[in-house]
């Protein structure tokens, strides 16, 4: 299926952030990509093109403090970037070809954290999280860069966090759609306890597919890892679309069994390169 691309600007708080629509020419689901801290939309365009070819409208965009607005990075807060995400979501569903009841959010690290919170503000049917980050609720309006000086995030992320104590986990606790949760085996930024926190919070989801990328680091810096994660994401989303068309979404499991975290193997599944910076 051929796709078209349109570079756009998104108005938010009297400013403009850049985005790129990647879309086919039919009425179909929408997919919103939320990059991690230090990333940009450019890192997701290739993946967006592949998903758009499945019959979706995809929007990859730049959070404020990144790419063309890099100069603002020391000032932007989680509230700032959440408003960016809401504005990008609204622009996506305003696209004439998008079904507003069939929206998927794909988020990595910081983008996964914000994308989870977005589910309490806008309708989301599918949620794909790769190495989603966790932050203390305190200091919501504090510049994001300052959080790494004011909060002991390393210690916070080493223990499973109860859903009641974290905004993103409370959001996931209420989410009733389908979830893909991906971790990296050698992630030095997002340890297993964070993944377990997200898993424990996902009590009401329709389906939960968990995968571990063997041998991968947080940013999936290996090219093979990037390709493998793309295939993982595409495979999961294809099954979600197929299930939706049949009227019952089925979880994606490579072996046909109930979705669960597989034991690490020597062969790495892999993924989105972008979020390789140490400050997640």
Which residue carries 């622009």 as its tokens? 91
CA distances from 33 to 61, 75, 153, 265, 269 (A): 7, 23, 25, 28, 20
pLDDT tens digits for the chain (280 residues)?
557 789 999 999 999 999 999 876 567 899 999 999 988 798 889 999 999 999 899 999 999 999 898 899 999 999 999 999 999 999 999 998 899 999 999 999 999 999 999 999 999 999 999 999 999 999 999 999 999 899 999 999 999 999 999 999 999 999 999 999 999 999 999 999 999 999 999 999 999 999 999 999 999 999 999 988 999 999 999 999 998 877 643 444 433 333 333 333 333 333 333 343 445 6
Q: Which residues of 86-116 are buried (b: 16+ CB within 10 A; e: fewer)?
A: bbbbebbbebebbeeebbbbbbbbbbbbbbb
The kind and range of the H/E element at 15 are: strand 15-23
Query: Chain centroid to CA 113: how far?
Result: 8
pLDDT digits (tens, 9 = 90+) for 241-255: 998 877 643 444 433
Q: Which fold has domain 4-246?
A: Rossmann fold (3.40.50)
Which DSSP letter does residue 160 get? P
pTM assigned to the model: 0.81
pLDDT digits (tens, 9 = 90+) for 7-66: 999 999 999 999 999 876 567 899 999 999 988 798 889 999 999 999 899 999 999 999
Ranges of each domain in the chain: 4-246
């Amino acid at each position: 299926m051929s796709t078209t691309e349109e570079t756009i600007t998104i108005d938010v708080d009297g400013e403009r952030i850049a985005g790129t629509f990647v879309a086919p020419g039919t009425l179909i689901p929408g997919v919103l990509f939320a990059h991690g801290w230090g990333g940009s939309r450019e890192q997701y365009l290739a993946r967006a093109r592949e998903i758009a070819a499945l019959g979706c409208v995809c929007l990859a965009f730049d959070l404020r403090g990144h790419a063309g607005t890099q100069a603002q990075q020391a000032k932007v807060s989680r509230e700032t970037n959440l408003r960016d995400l809401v504005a990008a979501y609204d622009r996506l569903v305003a696209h004439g070809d998008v079904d507003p009841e069939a929206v998927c959010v794909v988020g990595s690290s910081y983008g996964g954290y914000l994308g989870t919170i977005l589910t309490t503000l806008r309708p989301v049917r599918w949620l794909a999280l790769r190495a989603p980050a966790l932050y203390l609720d305190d200091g919501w309006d504090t510049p994001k860069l300052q959080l790494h000086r004011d909060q002991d995030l390393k210690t916070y992320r080493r223990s499973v966090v109860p859903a009641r104590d974290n905004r993103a986990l409370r959001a996931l606790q209420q989410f009733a759609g389908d979830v893909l949760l991906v971790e990296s085996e050698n992630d030095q930024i997002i340890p297993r306890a964070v993944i377990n926190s997200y898993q424990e919070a996902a009590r009401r989801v329709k389906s939960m597919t968990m995968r571990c990328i063997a041998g991968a680091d947080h940013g999936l810096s290996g090219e093979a890892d990037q390709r493998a994660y793309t295939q993982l994401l595409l495979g999961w989303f294809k099954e979600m679309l197929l299930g939706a068309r049949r009227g019952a979404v089925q979880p994606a499991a490579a072996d046909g069994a109930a979705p669960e975290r597989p034991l690490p193997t020597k062969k790495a599944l892999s993924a989105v390169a972008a979020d390789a910076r140490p400050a997640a």
